[in-house]
């Protein structure tokens, strides 16, 4: 996949998605449901109304940011499977910092903006530090980052869940969650008439994508980062501290993950709940990044696709008798086809669409 051309990557992504959807419709038909109805529900649930579009964009913001976090590490040859944990730690840090500092700042708009900035910085720092830990263990201790990041996911879920249920829990709430963020904390509802979606969150996401893409492709840091992960000997020979660069890569990845958690807490939830029930954005982001060939720019349409599928799943669960698990099956098929891109490249070569025939 890494040595594929841009056109091949686009073809692989389109082929993977279309093949997964077609096979998914066949499975729906075999299961005794109407595939035409299912397909229409997919479209209606993702882009069929203003409410559906807003819901799709809301999910897409989180998938894009988490996908960029995964792509940063994967492009540098480091496997950050801990985006979910970094997302949780970042979101929790946002809520706690805002709630604790709110009494010391004005109640107006200025105080709300200051609290959001503080909460966002807290999330970025917390996510970065939580990701730096497996980076240090890999660089200086030889630990397998796949194992350490997976375990740190469970630690984040358990520890943050314990804090939410105890020290930082709202005793007045019927569910396990923190207190609500102050009324002056929240992104403005501009363009979209949805309390859980703001153009500010969308623009911030696109700005992060542009920034990370520029850093990775236009700066010496980005070049050293990729080289250190894929060709450590060459990086060392050119004077780059490969070990320190691995830690820096993981830290940058975690910072973006933490930012995703901050947007989730401020724009969507307005509090923080038991992390075991907030959704698998960090895990699904692995598939988003794979579909985008670990390209930060490509993560945007890939995240939009997954946001649409997530939105459609919510719609189907309410409006149809088709099991929502079929949506998860389609996502799994997308990942499966992305994992075997050579199949599509081989078909293209055999049919004369991908260069010279063998």
Kindly write down the DSSP assignment for every residue of 91-134, as one continuous string: HHHHHHHHHHHGGGS-SSHHHHHHHHHHHHHHHHHHHHHHHHHH
Give domain status of residue 303, yes or no. no
Give domain status of residue 301, yes or no. no
Q: How far apart are CA 48 and CA 53, in angstroms?
A: 7
- pLDDT at residue 242, as a whole number: 82
Give domain status of residue 55, yes or no. no
Q: Which residue has the higher pLDDT, 223 or 71?
A: 71
Instruction: Extract the tokens encoding 66.
Output: 């988490």
> Please, which residues have CB within 8 angstroms of residue 149's CB and are 6 or more apart in sequence?
79, 80, 81, 82, 85, 131, 134
Q: How far apart are CA 115 and CA 185, in angstroms?
A: 7
For the ranges 246-255, 323-332, 349-358, the lowest mean pLDDT is seen at: 349-358
Mean pLDDT is highest, among 92-101, 180-189, 221-230, for: 92-101
- pLDDT at residue 350, as a whole number: 63
Q: Which of 117, 70, 88 is nearest to 302 (CA)?
A: 70
Give domain status of residue 302, yes or no. no
User: Band of the pLDDT at 339, cuts 50, 70, 90?
Assistant: low
Give domain status of residue 7, yes or no. no
Alpha helices in the chain (DSSP H): 6-30, 35-47, 50-75, 83-101, 109-141, 145-165, 199-218, 220-230, 232-237, 242-263, 281-291, 299-319, 325-339, 341-351
Give domain status of residue 265, yes or no. yes
Q: How far apart are CA 76 and CA 217, in angstroms?
A: 12
Give domain status of residue 173, yes or no. yes
- pLDDT at residue 160, as a whole number: 97
Give domain status of residue 170, yes or no. yes
Counting every residue, how long is the chain?
358
Q: Which of 287, 326, 325, 323 is nearest to 306 (CA)?
A: 287
**Burial class, 328, CB count within 10 angstroms (exposed 0-12 / middle 13-18 / buried 19+):** middle
CA 316 to each of CA 122, 174, 291: distance values in angstroms, whole numbers, following the listed order: 37, 28, 24
> Can you tell me the mean pLDDT for 51-79?
94
124-182 pLDDT, tens per residue? 999 999 999 999 999 899 999 999 999 999 999 999 999 999 999 998 888 899 999 99
CA 6 to each of CA 1, 3, 97, 183, 284: distance values in angstroms, whole numbers, following the listed order: 10, 9, 43, 46, 23
Contacts for 302-306 with beta carbons within 8 Å, 24 or more apart? 302/13, 302/63, 302/67, 303/60, 303/61, 303/63, 303/64, 303/67, 304/56, 304/60, 304/63, 304/64, 305/17, 305/334, 306/59, 306/60, 306/63, 306/331
Place of tokens 């492709």: 217
Q: Cα 120 to the chain's mean position, in Å?
A: 17
Q: What is the number of other CB atoms lying within 10 angstroms of the CB of residue 21?
A: 16
Q: Into how many domains does the chain fold?
A: 1
Q: At what angle do helices 199-218 and 50-75 cross, to 10 degrees?
A: 20
- pLDDT at residue 348, as a whole number: 63
106-115 pLDDT, tens per residue? 999 999 999 9
> The pTM is what?
0.90
Q: What is the span of the domain harbouring residue 259?
A: 66-295
**Portion of the chain with pLDDT greater than 90, in percent:** 56
- pLDDT at residue 291, as a whole number: 83
CA 283 to each of CA 12, 85, 346: distance values in angstroms, whole numbers, following the listed order: 21, 10, 29
Place of tokens 């992960």: 229
Q: How far apart are CA 149 and CA 130, in angstroms?
A: 9
- pLDDT at residue 207, as a whole number: 98
- pLDDT at residue 256, as a whole number: 98
> Can you tell me the mean pLDDT for 44-68?
94
């Amino acid at each position: 996949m890494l040595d594929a051309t841009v056109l091949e990557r686009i073809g692989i992504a389109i082929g993977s998605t279309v093949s997964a959807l077609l096979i998914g419709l066949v499975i729906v038909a075999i299961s005794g449901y109407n595939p035409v109805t299912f397909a229409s529900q997919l479209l209606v649930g993702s882009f069929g109304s203003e409410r559906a579009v807003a819901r799709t964009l809301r999910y897409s913001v989180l998938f894009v940011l988490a996908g960029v976090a995964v792509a940063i590490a994967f492009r540098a040859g480091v496997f950050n499977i801990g985006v979910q944990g970094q997302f949780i730690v970042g979101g929790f840090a946002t809520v706690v910092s805002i709630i604790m500092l709110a009494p010391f700042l004005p109640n107006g708009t200025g105080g709300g903006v200051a609290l959001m900035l503080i909460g966002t910085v807290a999330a970025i720092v917390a996510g970065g530090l939580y990701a730096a830990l497996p980076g240090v263990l890999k660089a200086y201790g030889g630990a397998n980052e796949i194992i350490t990041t997976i375990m740190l996911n469970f630690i984040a879920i358990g520890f943050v869940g314990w804090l939410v249920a105890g020290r930082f829990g709202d005793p007045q709430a019927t569910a396990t969650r923190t207190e609500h963020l102050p009324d002056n904390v929240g992104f403005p509802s501009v363009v979209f008439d949805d309390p859980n979606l703001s153009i500010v969150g969308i623009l911030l996401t696109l700005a992060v994508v542009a920034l990370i893409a520029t850093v990775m492709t236009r700066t010496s840091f980005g070049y050293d980062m990729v080289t250190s992960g894929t060709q450590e000997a060459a990086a060392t020979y050119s004077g780059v501290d490969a070990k320190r660069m691995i830690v820096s890569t993981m830290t940058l990845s975690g910072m973006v993950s933490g930012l995703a958690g901050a947007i989730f807490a401020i724009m969507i939830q307005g509090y923080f709940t038991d992390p075991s029930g907030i959704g698998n954005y960090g895990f699904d982001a692995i598939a988003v990044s794979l579909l985008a060939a670990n390209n930060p720019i490509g993560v945007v349409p890939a995240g939009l696709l997954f946001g649409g599928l997530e939105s459609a799943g919510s719609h189907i669960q309410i409006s149809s008798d088709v099991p929502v698990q079929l949506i998860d099956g389609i996502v799994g098929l997308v990942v499966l086809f992305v994992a075997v891109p050579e199949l599509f490249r081989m078909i293209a070569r055999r049919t004369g669409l991908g260069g010279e025939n063998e």
